[in-house]
Amino acid sequence: VKGYSGGMRRRLDLAGALVANPPVLFLDEPTTGLDPRARLDLWDVIEELVAGGTTLLLTTQYMDEADRLADSIAVIDHGKVIARGTADELKALVGGDRIELTVGAADQLAVAQQVLSGLADGEIHLEPGLRKLIVPVADGSQDLVTAIGRLTEHKVDINDVALRRPSLDDVFLTLTGHEAEELVNGDRESETVGAAEGKNR
């Protein structure tokens, strides 16, 4: 076993934890080191266990994992619980939809930010390396139409645009001011703790 890759050793650890079909299961970042296919397979196994009555307590820094697997979520930052609720309740904390758009050139980012500042329902988040803006809006599809019109008027090239609901990543960034995966001095500073109660319990 010591000759196996980290991902394979992780799979063996998980198999040892799951083989006894436990009534209560504690998993600490179970998918770290797994490839995307193995990660999805593990999610399926966990969902089957919970459906069969197992109660799960999960710690993770992957927000999509908490969103899919947990009935109840606690967000922990610097050792303190700063928010608690279902995924939908937590998403409601950060407001409505998000317009995500990618502009054609880096020098158009500032123009797009200025043009859309009056439309934004909160702070516009920039990702300069990707030439991307994330704009929180209050009126979803209508604001998307308005945004495209304004950018076209100001000759801002749009490579990609989408309207989406807030994710748990948005929740985490809003509540903590940093990404869930950010580490300080090698220590885990922030994570989510999710719980899923077995249907037979």
Average pLDDT, the chain: 85
CATH T-level topology, domain 96-165:
Alpha-Beta Plaits (3.30.70)
Q: Please give the average per-residue pLDDT across 59-78, as a whole number.
A: 90
Its pTM surpasses 0.85: no
Q: 6-91+170-196: what CATH class?
A: alpha beta
Q: What confidence tier does 16 reach under pLDDT thresholds 50, 70, 90? A: confident
Q: Are 133 and 112 in contact (CB under 8 A)?
A: yes
pLDDT in tens, 70-121: 999 998 888 889 889 999 899 888 777 899 999 999 999 999 999 999 999 8
pLDDT in tens, 176-197: 776 555 444 444 456 677 777 7
Rounded Cα gap, residues 23 and 49, in angstroms? 9
- Residue 44 three-state SS: helix
Radius of gyration from C-alpha coordinates of the chain? 20
Side-chain half-sphere CA neighbours of 107 within 13 A: 1
The domains of the chain are located at: 6-91+170-196, 96-165
